[in-house]
Amino acid sequence: MNGKLRNSPVTYALGMFAMMVPSQAFGAYYSYYYVEKLGLALGLATLARTIYLIWDAANQPLFGYLSDRTRTRWGRRKPWIYAAMPLFMAFFVMVFAVPEGWRGTSLFVWLLVALVLYEAAATVLWVNYGALFPELFRGDADRAKASAIQQGFQMVAILIGSALAPVLFAALGFGKMALVFAGVFAVFMFVCARSVREREEALAEPPPPFLESFRATLQNKPFWVFNVANYFAQTVNGLLGAMIPFYAKYALGIPESQVSVLMASVFFSVVPLVAVWYRIVRAFGAAAAWRAALAVYGLSVIPLWFASDLAGGIAAGIVAGFGLAGFLVTPAVLTGQIIDRDFEQTGRRREGIYTAVAGFITRSSGLIAAVAFWAAGLAFGYVSGDNPGPNPEGTFRFLISAVPLGLLAISFLISLLFRMELKTGSGSGQNGLTGERKWKNF
């Protein structure tokens, strides 16, 4: 690998692009595929999702701990990434390749098994990829830049996974769509992994003891406040992506062929707005920018309630994109600061376990989304695509606007409890993004 590309923010960001293309297609369309297209009852879909999240709770910290303990001549994270790549591809395709004629209980069993297998492979990838970020990029200025580049690539991936998916499954079917996205993942993830060289000093450290690793996260108050706040905000990310196909059909009344345009309005607008939030981080600091992003994100979902056609949906989607961009850029910088603090106090780098526990907290937010979907279905009478009930429009306006607004209000209020001050010392960089740190808890 060319020396200029090794550990480059651009080649590292290719990993985000690679994983987000299939992940976004999964998050946005698997519920639509099983509930609306295949007729799986919403209650069974929610049960499968709940079991999948319980499994996620068990394996996230375990895979993070195992990653931190790994010592090979190729590094700690890369062997796990290479091993998980073919499994991730196979299980992603499995989600969207239901055998012809499967309905009812057999369809539920297929979904449950596919979710559990897919989630395990995805967890290995996300934990190890995320653990590389604070190791490869040191200092808040470098992290803010790397995060902005990473989120720019993520937005392009989300756009492809969201907007191109309807075109592909309309032309090829859901199974072949999954094959195309699995191929995209393989190419770009391989380039990313090849470009990474892990730091030798991290490999020289002794493996952290099991109980010590978990005790460090349990006792870290800023870590928990930060991630609990993100828990509610992350729910909104998943909810918006999953509800847009339903919202387009029932609230906006547009055909399935135009869903891509609506998806693009939300996610394409985020790409240039990432640069705006990067400047906000540099000017005001990561914590202030993070809180501002949560507040803006909450206000930005309100227009989605009032849109009534494609044009209105596009305008509302662009507004929502500004808040989403801020939430995507700011957390990575704060996560790096929290991990640095732990290293300063203990002399150990535990990117894997911190990334895994944070991933469990935020990814388990899907449980709120699943319960919200189920509860709204009960309240408004929506059961499935075969039985949408008397007011499907109200169901999905509520889910795409009112629920996100409430969740983001909770997230913002919790963020006010977060205390982590940076005190600029001698040799500090621009805007106090480097230099002596003063950490303040409660």
Of 264 and 175, the one with more pLDDT:
175
DSSP for 288-335, written as a single string: HHHHHHHHHHHHHTTHHHH--SHHHHHHHHHHHHHHHHHHHHHHHHHH
Residues pairing with 384 in the sheet:
387
Q: How far apart are CA 173 and CA 242, in angstroms?
A: 19
User: What 8-state DSSP symbol labels residue 75?
Assistant: -
Asked if residue 437 has pLDDT above 60, the reply is no
Model confidence over 279-309: pLDDT tens digits?
Answer: 888 888 888 889 999 999 999 999 999 998 9
pTM (global) more than 0.85: no
Q: Name the residue with tokens 């509930």.
A: 35
Model confidence over 211-225: pLDDT tens digits?
Answer: 666 666 777 788 888
Model confidence over 91-116: pLDDT tens digits?
Answer: 999 999 998 888 888 999 999 999 99
* Cα torsion 292, 421, 9, 67: sign: negative
* Cα torsion 431, 416, 271, 318: sign: negative
Least confident of 46-50, 122-126, 194-198, 384-388: 384-388
Q: How far apart are CA 267 and CA 243, in angstroms?
A: 14
Asked if residue 1 has pLDDT above 60, the reply is no
pLDDT category of residue 323 using cuts at 50, 70 and 90: confident
User: What 8-state DSSP symbol labels residue 209?
Assistant: P
For residue 50, the tally of other CB atoms under 10 A from its CB is: 15
